[in-house]
Amino acid sequence: MQEHTQLSHKQINDDLLVDILTVPKWWLPAVAFLSLIVLTGLGAFFFMMYHGLGVTGLNRPVMWGFFIANFVFWIGISHAGIMISAILRLTQAEWRRPITRAAEVMTVFSLIAALHTPLMHVGRPWRVLYWIFPYDFSRGIWPNIRSPFVWDPSAVGTYLIASSLFVFVCLIPDLAILRDRVKNPIGKKIYAQLALGFRGTPRQWRLQIIAGILLSALVLPVFVSVHSIVSWDFAVLIGVEGWRSTIFAPYFIIGAIHSGVSAVAMLMALSVWLYGLDKYIKPDHFDAIARLLIVVATTWFFFFFLEWVYALYTLESPEIALRELQAFEWPYGPLFAIFVITSFVIPVPMWLFKRVRRSAALMFWTTILVNIGMWLERFLIVIPGLLRRTHMTFDWGTYHPSIIEILIVVETFAFVCLGMLLFAKVLPLIPLFDIKEGMVNRRLIKVGRRVIPATIREGLPHHYYQEKH
């Protein structure tokens, strides 16, 4: 089953840069369509800013709706980047190589998408600076560091800066290749500037590798902090029965990894189909990511189960009423059923079969299901949580998203797709140098009389190493 053909450097360059040097037929219509959706979403945002938040479906008990559910969803997707590139890099998982950059780039775009909605949904978006950079010395007001809304921008901002740096550091060798190969003089100049004079000297390689490892180590705390802080946006509110849970931070983190890694598997399938990269992303890679997903999904389900146990264990009537609303009442009941089925019940048993794990199509559809389910999970935490059926029945409410909210949520999805497409147009989505490094590591070299692999990695099957050609 293992089929590690050794490819020459020239072939790798040709394969992976073809989409940058030429324009595929579907590219322009796809970009035009996605841009249209993004522009519509932006139009909806300006409409909302002009007329006020009255144009949304928000109301008195439900002050946060689609926007915040969507925010949590995208922060969750962004956890793919750290999981794949930092943790798998530090644990030297060999299969990560072709997908690190796609995961990291998706992280950057999904973080920006995540920032869209909370910044748009405030009452006075033109004053958001006081919130994100609240050091307004002329007014003498310091930020309220007790508020999770002050922790949020710092955590998400750190994450955004770290992942952008990470993408950039890993791009430098490939930028140098592009500099040498792009014909267009303006493009050449831009790539030359970005490549920072990288010429492939041993010292430059060493620095690049050290920077990559340092960044992946430094970004690890962010792995834990970002989604914990997002979960505290909810968990600090003592008065909201469905939210005030101490298990929220780890529950959110593992949920984020679940949806993030699923999104990476989705991305892998898409790059096989759209860019014909099946020489680089092979059934082995799908197999590896599906195994990882089984573990992550099962852990997530355990936390999901615990959250319910802890809630019902209190035997407080508002808590039980909330759970009834979440799981049994229209329309949340059916949504809840869809959420549990799509995020766990269908995909995980399917991944147990090798045939499913090794099929790009099946992995694509199962991971799409996971992300539908995980979006619903966030929705079911935010909205029924606020609709809470408290003792004071007078304040029970309802929530229907307006067309404006739906347009802006759709916009975030189009924005991430558009960002990925544009990125893939100007920069290779699969790291060339990393693939080459993998090939070199697999070569057999002669030391004295013995023939040994160039680099020994633990846990790799023997046939992984191929004859040097």
Partner 1 sequence: MADSNKWGMVVDIDRCTGCQGCVVACQAENNIPINLEEHFNQRRAIQWIRIERYWEGEYPNVKARFIPIMCQHCGNAPCEPVCPVYATYHNDEGMNVQVYNRCIGTRFCANGCPYHIRFFNFWEPEWPESLKNQLNPDVTVRSRGIMEKCSFCVQRIQRSTREAERDGVDLEDGDRGLNPACVNACATNSIIFGNFNDPNSEVSIIKEKEMKEGGRGYGLLENLGTDPNVIYLKKVDESVEVGHGH
Binding site for partner 1 (CB under 8 A): 51-54, 58-61, 63-64, 118, 122-124, 127-128, 130-131, 134, 141-144, 146-150, 233, 236-240, 386, 390-395, 397-398
Whole-number minimum distance, CB 147 to partner 1, in Å?
A: 4
- Residue 126 identity: W
Do 425 and 5 form a contact (C-beta atoms < 8 A)?
no
**Ramachandran angles phi, psi of 56, nearest 5°:** -85, 180
| β partners of residue 443 | 466
Whole-number minimum distance, CB 385 to partner 1, in Å?
A: 9
Tokens in use for 347? 């995909």
Whole-number minimum distance, CB 156 to partner 1, in Å?
A: 13
Segment 296-299 long-range contacts (CB within 8 Å, at least 24 positions apart): 296/254, 296/257, 296/258, 296/261, 297/258, 297/343, 297/344, 297/347, 297/348, 297/351, 297/370, 298/348, 299/254
Nearest CB to partner 1, comparing residues 118 and 428: 118
| β partners of residue 444 | 453
Residue 147's CB is within 10 A of a number of other CB atoms, namely 14
SS3 call for 128: coil
Give the largest Cα separation in the chain, rounded: 86
Nearest CB to partner 1, comparing residues 33 and 133: 133
Whole-number minimum distance, CB 220 to partner 1, in Å?
A: 27
Whole-number minimum distance, CB 141 to partner 1, in Å?
A: 6
What stretch of H or E contains 447? strand 444-447
What span, in angstroms and rounded, lies between the C-alpha atoms of 28 and 62? 41
Tokens in use for 275? 């860019």
Do 105 and 141 form a contact (C-beta atoms < 8 A)?
no
Nearest CB to partner 1, comparing residues 122 and 194: 122
Whole-number minimum distance, CB 127 to partner 1, in Å?
A: 5
Nearest CB to partner 1, comparing residues 53 and 268: 53
Segment 197-203 long-range contacts (CB within 8 Å, at least 24 positions apart): 198/172, 198/173, 200/173, 200/176
What stretch of H or E contains 39? helix 27-51
Nearest CB to partner 1, comparing residues 185 and 239: 239
Nearest CB to partner 1, comparing residues 144 and 298: 144
Nearest CB to partner 1, comparing residues 151 and 198: 151
- Residue 301 identity: F
Do 179 and 260 form a contact (C-beta atoms < 8 A)?
no
Whole-number minimum distance, CB 16 to partner 1, in Å?
A: 44
Nearest CB to partner 1, comparing residues 258 and 388: 388
Do 241 and 324 form a contact (C-beta atoms < 8 A)?
no
Whole-number minimum distance, CB 54 to partner 1, in Å?
A: 4
SS3 call for 329: coil
Nearest CB to partner 1, comparing residues 234 and 303: 234
Nearest CB to partner 1, comparing residues 133 and 353: 133
Whole-number minimum distance, CB 312 to partner 1, in Å?
A: 18
Tokens in use for 47? 């409409």
Whole-number minimum distance, CB 335 to partner 1, in Å?
A: 21
